[in-house]
């Protein structure tokens, strides 16, 4: 499947399975099993996996647009699918022959779901400073101890892409390691499901890692090159997947507001809201806000795929801008749609709650603008 065919397939599944499941996913806070399985079955589990591994070989553009399509229908599903793709990209960046065989090929075949487990209770939004300990038991095995918080697809994934401190206790904080933990590892213990205000189907859980044994072959890349992972793979793929997701949510709110203005008519004068100049103007502003944010995101993904040094600025800016766009558009749509929308379990209720996660998922909006400023001022991006 090329890019257009892949996106057509996402669109088809979004309109059918994801739409059918979306309401119950939010209302009951259940993980979108049917939607994720439908996406995997259609070959989309391997969206960003190289074609040599049987994947679709898409990059940031495909990821942004796939998440955008899904986000328009279900924020939770887009988030779960997006995190799987980010995890796949991290695994694929420097996969060994064994990892290609054990992970990438099953991911491409739709038989393996992965996800990112980077955040920790102790370092919060600063997910790039893990405190999880890694101890070499032998050349073939490591021992992992620590906690990972807010793991999307928690308990559902077949593997977890984990960050830990480096093996050498003397090494700098930046010399951490990334590894893949299999979901069926015996020592894994999960906390209760986190009950989010929105994104209620993402099965977010805390992962407790106490004396967990991990084969050395599960290490991703070389010890010490992990900041490379953060800035070359995790950040671009994560920011792109989340930008697409929240842009989709903004678009959904816009569509709801437009539909309402077209359909709401008054008995006292026979007009519809679509004939009101002020509301016409406000809808025009919303469209412009979404479209300029979309163009920034698409520009970022094109530059990111060319791997230019200049790509970092639009990539950082796009998630921050999408965050503002999404929260503002949903908020404004709620006003435009009046009391009818201001009711529990309305579509806008779901969108409003889902949208609020945009600013707090790390790198958060505030952190992104700071990184952007530092990059512009030629300062080191990370503080300590
Ligand atoms: C729906 C959802 C899904 C998630 N899924 C995953 C996942 O799959 N995997 C994963 O690893 N994590 C995941 N996370 C975690 C997420 O990425 C963040 O790590 C987490 O939300 C941070 O929460 P906290 O309360 O610890 O924030 P805190 O670290 O306490 O931060 C609170 C606020 O302070 C601000 N702040 C902190 N430091 C700075 C600074 N230096 N400059 C400016 N502002 C600053 C932050 O921006 C934030 O607004 C998820 C979170 C949510 C809400």
Ligand 1 pocket residue status of 364, Cβ below 6 Å? yes
Which of ligand 1's atoms lies nearest the C-alpha of 117? Answer: 11
How far is the centre of ligand 1, averaged over its atoms, from the C-alpha of 117 (Å)?
13
Structure confidence at residue 40 (pLDDT): 98
Structure confidence at residue 227 (pLDDT): 78
Strands 114-117 and 159-164: parallel
Which of ligand 1's atoms lies nearest the C-alpha of 154? Answer: 8
- Encode pLDDT of 357-380 as tens digits: 999 999 999 999 999 999 999 999
Instruction: Label residue 252 by pLDDT band (50, 70, 90).
Output: very high
Ligand 1 pocket residue status of 197, Cβ below 6 Å? no
Q: Which residue has the tokens 């259940």?
A: 30
Instruction: Over range 107-111, report the average pLDDT.
Output: 98
End-to-end CA distance of the chain: 44
How far is the centre of ligand 1, averaged over its atoms, from the C-alpha of 368 (Å)?
12
Nearest-CA residue for atom 12 of ligand 1: 119
pLDDT(172) > 80 = no
Which of ligand 1's atoms lies nearest the C-alpha of 198? Answer: 1
- Encode pLDDT of 276-333 as tens digits: 999 999 999 999 999 999 999 999 999 999 988 889 999 999 999 999 999 999 999 9
Instruction: Over range 255-275, report the average pLDDT.
Output: 97
Nearest-CA residue for atom 34 of ligand 1: 125
Instruction: Over range 223-246, report the average pLDDT.
Output: 89
How far is the centre of ligand 1, averaged over its atoms, from the C-alpha of 192 (Å)?
19
C-alpha 240/C-alpha 234 separation (Å) is 10
How far is the centre of ligand 1, averaged over its atoms, from the C-alpha of 205 (Å)?
14
C-alpha 205/C-alpha 212 separation (Å) is 18
- Residues forming a β-bridge with 159: 114, 182
- Domain boundaries 227-376, CATH class: mainly alpha
Instruction: Over range 130-154, report the average pLDDT.
Output: 94
Strands 114-117 and 205-215: unpaired
Instruction: Label residue 231 by pLDDT band (50, 70, 90).
Output: confident
pLDDT(169) > 70 = no
> In terms of pTM, does the model score above 0.85?
yes
- Encode pLDDT of 119-129 as tens digits: 999 999 998 88
Nearest-CA residue for atom 13 of ligand 1: 150
pLDDT(345) > 80 = yes
List the chain domain ranges: 3-114, 116-224, 227-376
**Of 42, 60, 54, nearest to 6 (Cα)?**
42
Ligand 1 pocket residue status of 206, Cβ below 6 Å? no
Structure confidence at residue 308 (pLDDT): 87
**What's the chain's average pLDDT?**
95
How far is the centre of ligand 1, averaged over its atoms, from the C-alpha of 361 (Å)?
5
216 touches 142 (CB < 8 A): yes
Assigned CATH topology for domain 116-224 = Butyryl-CoA Dehydrogenase, subunit A; domain 2 (2.40.110)
Instruction: Label residue 9 by pLDDT band (50, 70, 90).
Output: very high
Instruction: Label residue 170 by pLDDT band (50, 70, 90).
Output: low
Of the candidate CATH numbers 3.30.43.10, 2.40.40.20, 1.10.540.10, 3.40.50.720, the domain formed by 3-114 belongs to: 1.10.540.10
Structure confidence at residue 171 (pLDDT): 65
User: Is the bond preceding 268 in cis, omega lying within 30 degrees of 0?
Assistant: no
Which of ligand 1's atoms lies nearest the C-alpha of 152? Answer: 8
Give the SS3 label for residue 343.
Answer: coil
Q: Which residue has the tokens 């796949």?
A: 88
144 touches 181 (CB < 8 A): yes
287 touches 254 (CB < 8 A): yes
- Residues forming a β-bridge with 143: 135, 213
C-alpha 303/C-alpha 301 separation (Å) is 5
Structure confidence at residue 174 (pLDDT): 61
């Amino acid at each position: 499947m090329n890019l257009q065919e892949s996106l057509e397939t996402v669109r088809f599944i979004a309109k059918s399975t994801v739409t059918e499941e979306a309401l119950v996913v939010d209302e009951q806070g259940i993980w979108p099993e049917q939607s994720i399985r439908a996406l995997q079955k259609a070959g989309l589990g391997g969206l960003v996996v190289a074609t040599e591994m049987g994947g679709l070989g898409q990059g940031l553009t495909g990821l942004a647009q796939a998440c955008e399509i899904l986000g328009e229908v279900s924020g939770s599903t887009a988030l779960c699918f997006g995190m799987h793709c980010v995890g796949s990209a991290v695994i694929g960046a420097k996969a060994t022959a064994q990892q290609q065989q054990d992970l990438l090929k099953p991911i491409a075949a739709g038989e393996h779901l992965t996800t990112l487990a980077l955040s920790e209770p102790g370092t919060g939004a600063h997910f790039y400073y893990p405190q999880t300990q890694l101890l070499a038991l032998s050349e073939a095995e490591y021992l992992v101890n620590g906690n990972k918080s807010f793991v999307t697809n928690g308990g559902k994934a077949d593997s977890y892409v984990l960050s830990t401190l480096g093996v050498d206790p003397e090494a700098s904080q930046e010399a951490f390691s990334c590894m893949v933990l299999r979901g069926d590892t015996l020592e894994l213990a999960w906390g209760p499901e986190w009950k989010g205000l929105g994104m209620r189907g993402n099965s977010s859980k805390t992962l407790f890692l106490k004396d967990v044994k991990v084969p050395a072959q599960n290490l991703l890349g070389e010890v010490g090159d992990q900041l490379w992972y953060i800035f070359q793979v995790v950040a671009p793929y994560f920011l792109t997947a989340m930008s697409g997701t929240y842009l989709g949510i903004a678009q959904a709110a816009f569509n709801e507001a437009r539909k309402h203005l077209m359909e709401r008519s008054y008995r006292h004068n026979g007009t519809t809201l679509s004939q009101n100049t002020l509301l016409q103007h406000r809808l025009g502003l919303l469209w412009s806000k979404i479209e300029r944010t979309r163009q920034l995101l698409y520009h970022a993904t094109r530059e990111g795929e060319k791997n230019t040094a200049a790509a970092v600025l639009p990539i950082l800016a796009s998630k921050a801008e999408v965050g503002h766009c999404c929260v503002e558009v949903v908020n404004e749509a709620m006003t435009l749609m009046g009391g009818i929308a201001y009711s529990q379990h309305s579509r806008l209720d779901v969108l409003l709650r889902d949208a609020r996660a945009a600013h707090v998922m790390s790198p958060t909006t505030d952190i992104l603008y700071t990184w952007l400023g530092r990059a512009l001022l030629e300062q080191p991006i990370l503080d300590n």
